[in-house]
Amino acid sequence: MKGLKTLAIFCFALFLSSCGDGFQYVTIETDLGDMKFKLYNSTPQHRDNFIKLAKEGYYDDLLFHRVISGFMAQGGDPNSKDAGPGVRLGTGGPGYKVPAEIGAPHFKGTLAAARDGNPQKASSGSQFYIVQGSKVTDRQIKGVEQKWGITYSDAQKEKYKTLGGTIGLDMDYTVFGEIVEGMEVIDKLCTVEKNGDNRPIEDIKMKVKVSK
């Protein structure tokens, strides 16, 4: 009887593990290391679009074409593939936009969609950035709350003050995922040598893979 009970517990645990946690994951591979991201179910259009492009190999061998220390690292411009040294990048895309799904904060390590100045705040179909940011003060938090008429939870305030992020982008851009492995890579990305356009002197290529 004891053996049957143990077997039943094992089978139940196996069943739970096969169900997953309800999230989808992607890994961005670079020469500086890999970053694994959990994609948010609260931003389904961005999640599904990113996974679609990753499965198609769209991002493979594209560059992180814009990096700013204390801010973010941006990539996903199809024009960056095989781009010559010094070529200005950042205007390419797949020919469509993704409707805004704004709400999640810009903590360090979050994955967000780049966009142009369109009033609907619709996102680029492919370009994204990874937040590095810096630690946020109570004054900065209060300023953003007053600007947008929002209230951060105590946990969100504490995370901004200890982990950091780029709170000034909140309510303007769609955040659709967060790093779960490889946080140190974003610090490496944002501190490489770059030119006057913030393009890394040495190309940093990526591959994006759907993972578990």
Strand partners, 33: 30
**What per-residue confidence (pLDDT) applies to 211?**
84
**What per-residue confidence (pLDDT) applies to 21?**
85
CATH number for the domain spanning 183: value is: 2.40.100.10
| C-beta of residue 194 within 8 angstroms of C-beta of residue 67 | yes
| Containing structural domain, residue 135 | 22-211
In a domain, 150, yes or no: yes
Residue 27 has pLDDT above 90, yes or no: yes
Q: E-strand spans in 31-170?
A: 33-39, 64-68, 72-75, 97-98, 110-113, 123-124, 128-131
In a domain, 8, yes or no: no
Residue 9 has pLDDT above 80, yes or no: no
Q: How confident is the model at residue 11 (pLDDT cuts 50, 70, 90)?
A: very low
In a domain, 131, yes or no: yes
In a domain, 177, yes or no: yes
DSSP string, 105-135: --BTTEEEE---S-TT-PEESS-EEEE--B-
Residue 18 has pLDDT above 50, yes or no: no
pLDDT tens for residues 28-82? 999 999 999 999 999 999 999 999 999 999 999 999 999 999 999 999 999 999 9
**What per-residue confidence (pLDDT) applies to 212?**
75
In a domain, 1, yes or no: no
Q: How confident is the model at residue 15 (pLDDT cuts 50, 70, 90)?
A: very low
What are the structure tokens assigned to 97, written together?
Answer: 């936009």
Tally of structural domains, the chain: 1
In a domain, 16, yes or no: no
Residue 3 has pLDDT above 90, yes or no: no
**What per-residue confidence (pLDDT) applies to 128?**
98
In a domain, 17, yes or no: no
Mean predicted confidence (pLDDT) in 93-120: 97
pLDDT tens for residues 154-209? 999 999 999 999 999 999 999 999 999 999 999 999 999 999 999 999 999 999 99
**What per-residue confidence (pLDDT) applies to 121?**
98
**What per-residue confidence (pLDDT) applies to 20?**
74
**What per-residue confidence (pLDDT) applies to 17?**
39
**What per-residue confidence (pLDDT) applies to 16?**
39
What are the structure tokens assigned to 154, written together?
Answer: 């105590």
In a domain, 9, yes or no: no
